[in-house]
Structure 1
Amino acid sequence: MRIFTILLLLFICTTTSIAQTQVEDPQEKLKLVEEELEQINKKLEELAEQRAILLQQELNLSNYASDRVKNVIIKYSIQANKVIQSNASANEKTKNLSNIVYFQNEEFKKLLTVHQFYKYLKLTDI
């Protein structure tokens, strides 16, 4: 599932282009970039909701826990997207993405029971 999530993020990032048209006005260019980021964030939220639903079913989560898991997924998906879009080297991106996954898992530890967390780890092949 971890690889699936990262691949989805890469897909989103490669299929969207931030303001590739030539725009003279910096304000207009900024507006286009903001609109593009909003679209990416909406897509990330949709994917996070789908993943939360899957985890809710697999881990037998309550609606409350599922909602909290979804919020964590959104938070770290946005961070991962920023890393992927950055101009950092491939090694630096890999390191940063690994850190993001680590911190996401740390938050999941707080939200899930021990049994649910270990089942989650089995699902993500960590």
Structure 2
Amino acid sequence: MRAFTILLLFFICTTSIAQDQIEDQNQDLQEITELTEEQLEAEKKRFADLAEQRAILLQQELNLSNYASDRIKKVIIKYSIRANKIIQSNAPANEKTKDLSNIVYFQNEEFKKVLTVHQFYKYLKLKNI
């Protein structure tokens, strides 16, 4: 009976220790997740700032309205985030190149919806400089 009691106490102690370790691991994971969320927010802000600068430049160069400039900014942010994910991925270089080319293509397609024909061709000329 005494051995059974000792084993029971030992089992309760080890279970408690294991549960404490699991709680510590969960807390560590939560801190990592929070850090990652903070990093994502910082990255989004950085992309938004860069997109704002680029939209202002395009607004000046292409004589865009505020509405068109705002839509261009949103497109730039959208595709910049996608491009960054591709660049950060572990994909082979040739696959990254293909995916980035697709991003440029689809970004240009969305630009066509916002810009006039004259503005779009002027934009293409600016890109080639």
- Report the TM-score when normalising by structure 1: 0.79
User: Higher helix share goes to which structure?
Assistant: 2
1:99 CA displacement: 0.5
Match of 2:89 in 1: 86
In the other structure, the counterpart of 2:79 is 76
Q: Which ranges of structure 2 fall in alignment gaps of 5 or more residues?
A: 1-26
State the alpha-carbon separation in 2 of the partners of residues 35 and 54 from structure 1: 29
User: Following TM superposition, by how much is the alpha carbon of 1:103 offset from its aligned partner in structure 2, in angstroms?
Assistant: 0.1
- Supply the distance in 2 between the matched residues of 1:98 and 1:70 (Cα, whole angstroms): 19
Structure 1 residue matching 2:107: 3-state secondary structure: helix
Q: Quick one: distance in 2 between partners of 1:25 and 1:39? A: 21
Q: Aligned-pair RMSD on alpha carbons?
A: 1.3
Give the residue type in structure 2 aligned to 1:113: T
User: Letter of the aligned partner of 2:117 in structure 1?
Assistant: V
Amino acid at match of 2:75: V
Larger radius of gyration: 2
1:107 deviation in Å? 0.3
- Within the alignment, does 1:98 sit opposite 2:98 as a pair? no
**What residue in structure 2 maps to residue 108 of structure 1?**
111
Which has the higher relative contact order, 1 or 2, with Cα contacts under 8 A spaced 6 or more apart?
Answer: 1
Q: 2:51 corresponds to which residue?
A: 48
Distance 1:116 1:84 in 2: 29
Question: Structure 1 unaligned runs (5+)?
Answer: 1-23
SS state at 1:25 partner: helix
Q: In 2, Cα distance between the equivalents of 1:80 and 1:101?
A: 9
Identical amino acids, percent of aligned pairs: 78
